[in-house]
Amino acid sequence: MAAPVSTVGKPSTERSPFNTTSFQKKTRTKLISIPGTRPSVQNGQLLVSTGVTSLDYLLGGGLAVGTVLLIEEDRYDSYSRMILKYFLAEGVVCRHELFVAAAQDNPDDILQELPAPILDDVAIHKPVEQPRLSCEPQDSLDAMKIAWRYQNLPKVQSALASSSRFGHYYDVSKTMEPEIRQAAKCHCFYLPEHPTHTMLESYSALLKSLQEVINREGFDVAAPMTKSRNILRIGLHSLGSALWGDDLSCHDNPRNGHALTTFLYGLRALLRSSLSVAVVTVPSHLIQDRALMGSITRLCDNAIALESFKGSERETNPLYKDYHGLLHVRQVPHLNCLASKLPDHKDLAFKLKRKQFTIEPLHLFPFNMFVSVLNLSADDNEKSLTLVLPACFYYRVSKSKVKLY
């Protein structure tokens, strides 16, 4: 089971000094409270945010601890890399530990490109403000006459409250400040630093390194409770690419087609027995074997595929002008329960805005846009009409008019 919520003990809650009343929310002693996590409403699993709130909603509230999210990369690895950075940035903000593995870029470079979080109540390191004492006569102008109970509260919300929020927003145009980033503990695995002789060894070296970190830092569920628990966020970039020594993306019939799948099986075994969550990106557009891609998907719990419009004819298609690409949900897990929560819409599109990565259902084809496209091709003297229409309309084109049913 992914992160059995009831078996890990809970550290004692600290009473916030800023409560206006002496009432404290009664929490069941069996629930653990790790910052940045919340229990799922469906089956009580512990969820973490992926850093993208719309992706959290798609996955059923968040990423369950102990599971793997597979992201099939888009053609130029721009948006999948962005989601990986969101995931790691969310880990920094929630004070989780990070493990980044890459073969192409140095993990330190990836960590330096993390987007800056938008926090109204800024930093994690600011010292907690003391409540103002009510015996300060010089603030008579500020003294509250009606809401005098709130006199003692500080004007600015402290950092304690911000870290308990689930899911944050990031500004993509700025990079995260080094002070915030260095506050989080990061473990890096850069493949050229671990020379291996054969291809299979690169994945087993990675698996071994992961297990070492999990055991050493105490993320194992079976480990004794010496200190408060934390989550390990694992980001594995571009597994299956040729740089990992794998020939999955080079040959139609790879020699050792099961190297990546065996690694994913071992990764699942590690994750199910520890408080960690992994995001893996795979360049699926290079892997020709659909059945192999299917078994890779089945060995990961969540799976999404990104298809960006960059460089394709869809970039200029007026149907898609509001979006940057399509997002396909390949798999949603059903751990510890029979039914999985499938998304309502299957046609999803994403757009990367400066402060948000939005994922929306692809809206129905509006009629006025249809008319404007028709006019365009009439002017160009084109006899044939090629349109991308969603399958919800039936249409018949005759010489004089178009009928929509």
Partner 1 sequence: MFTELNSILNTTPDSFTQGDFILLSDRQSDASFLIHHFLSLYLRARCKVWFLGLVQSFNHYSAISQRLGVSLTQAKEKGQLVFLEGLNESLSVLIPREADTGSEAMGFLRDPAVGLKSLYEFVRTSATSSGGGEPEPEEWGPPVLLVDDLSVLLSLGASVGAVLDFSHYCRATVCSQLQGNVVMLARCDGEEEEEDGDDGGSERLLRGLTHQCSLTLHVQGLPTGYCRDIHGQVEVCWRRRRGDGRCTQKKLFQYKVHDKGASFFAPGTSSAVL
Give contact residues for partner 1 (rule: CB under 8 A): 1, 4, 43, 204, 207-208, 211, 253, 258, 261-262, 265-266, 268-270, 272-273, 289-292, 294-295, 298-299, 334-339, 342, 344, 346
DSSP of 64-131, one letter per residue?
A: ETT-EEEEE--TTSSHHHHHHHHHHHHHHHTT-EEEEEESSS-HHHHHHTPEEE--TT--SSSPPPPP
Q: How far is the CB of 157 from partner 1 (least distance, A)?
A: 38
**What are 86's two structure tokens?**
């969101």
Across 207-229, b (16+ Cβ under 10 Å) vs e yields bebbeebbeebbbbbeeeeeeeb
Which C-beta is closer to partner 1: that of 111 or that of 264?
264
Q: How far is the CB of 336 from partner 1 (least distance, A)?
A: 4
Which C-beta is closer to partner 1: that of 78 or that of 211?
211
End-to-end CA distance of the chain: give it in Å, rounded: 49
Closest CA to 116 of 159, 76, 173: 173
Q: How far is the CB of 259 from partner 1 (least distance, A)?
A: 9
Which C-beta is closer to partner 1: that of 36 or that of 266?
266
| Other Cβ atoms closer than 10 A to 42 | 15
Q: How far is the CB of 37 from partner 1 (least distance, A)?
A: 18
**Burial group, residue 150, by CB count within 10 angstroms (0-12, 13-18, 19+):** exposed
Largest CA distance in the chain: 85
Residues 6+ positions from 325 with CB-CB distance below 8 Å: 74, 79, 306, 307, 308, 309, 310, 349, 350
The residue type found at 386 is: T
d(CA 76, CA 309): 10
Residue 265: strand, helix, or coil: helix
HSE of 320 in the Cβ direction (CA atoms, 13 Å)? Answer: 24
Which C-beta is closer to partner 1: that of 135 or that of 291?
291
Which C-beta is closer to partner 1: that of 342 or that of 371?
342
Which C-beta is closer to partner 1: that of 294 or that of 366?
294
Which C-beta is closer to partner 1: that of 77 or that of 301?
301
Which C-beta is closer to partner 1: that of 104 or that of 336?
336
Residue 133: strand, helix, or coil: coil
Q: How far is the CB of 221 from partner 1 (least distance, A)?
A: 10
d(CA 34, CA 46): 9
Return the DSSP state at 337. Answer: S
Q: How far is the CB of 261 from partner 1 (least distance, A)?
A: 4
Q: How far is the CB of 395 from partner 1 (least distance, A)?
A: 19
Q: How far is the CB of 268 from partner 1 (least distance, A)?
A: 6
**What are 287's two structure tokens?**
């892997």
d(CA 238, CA 259): 14
Which C-beta is closer to partner 1: that of 154 or that of 361?
361
Which C-beta is closer to partner 1: that of 75 or that of 272?
272
Q: How far is the CB of 296 from partner 1 (least distance, A)?
A: 8
Q: How far is the CB of 350 from partner 1 (least distance, A)?
A: 20
